[in-house]
Amino acid sequence: MLEKYFSAPKTLARLRAGLSGPHIDGFADALERDGYSHGSAVRYLRAAAHLGQFQQRRHETLADIDATTLDDFGRHRRRCRCPLSNGGKVNHHVVFGAKRFQTYLFETGVCERDLTVRLRIVEPVLIVSFRDWFRKHRGATEPTLRHYCRDATQMLTSSVRISANGMQAESGSSCSIGPISVARVLQNT
Ligand SMILES: [Zn+2]
């Protein structure tokens, strides 16, 4: 609910007006659910209302928001003259808030464009070498390799330290894949 973040009736009415108005309470709930701080949520909600005004002045809708819109909005805030906006304060919160609002609009089906940048999970170089070595020298099958590599990745993320005499796990991690083999592979990498 918007009242968690704003109390002045004038502000509440302003935020609930315009293109973003029908979505602003739901956006406030989403920000609270996602654990945004009070200060960030306030800025993001203002940005959402501002983005609605921006689109309205361009004779566009919230469904039209795409990556170019967000870029334009980022430039617009420097020379903003939108009535009732909080002025064109130049700070990153406005752009982050607008992006988060677009994500919310996508999640709720208002906007069809998914602008979320998806991070590709990249396998650490050492694990790639480990996988290749096991495939070549032990003829391991793919399911076995997956199992071994998952365990080896866990070992790496548990601060495994390789010493001249073999391997020592700093955090006492245990592993089911024969640590000596792993150590040899990693040492030869
Ligand atoms: Zn503006």
CA of 49 from ligand 1 middle (Å) equals 10
Tell which residue, 49, 31, 50, 51, has the closest CA to residue 41. Answer: 31
- The whole-model pTM stands at 0.61
Calculate the average pLDDT of the chain: 77
* Segments in 34-178 forming alpha helices (H): 38-57, 67-76, 92-107, 125-138, 142-157
- On the question of pLDDT at 173 being above 50, the answer is no
Confidence at residue 174, expressed as pLDDT on a 0 to 100 scale: 40
Distance between Cα 82 and ligand 1 center (Å): 4
Tell me the CA–centroid distance for residue 91 and ligand 1, in Å: 13
Give, rounded to a whole angstrom, the gap between the first and last alpha carbons of the chain.
55
The predicted-structure confidence for 66-100, as pLDDT tens digits, reads as follows 999 999 998 887 788 887 665 445 577 888 999 99
User: Is the predicted pLDDT of residue 168 greater than 50, yes or no?
Assistant: no
Q: How far is the CA of 48 from the centre of ligand 1 (A)?
A: 11
Residue 151, pLDDT above cutoff 70? no
Q: Angle 52-32-88 (CA atoms, 0-180°, nearest 5)?
A: 35
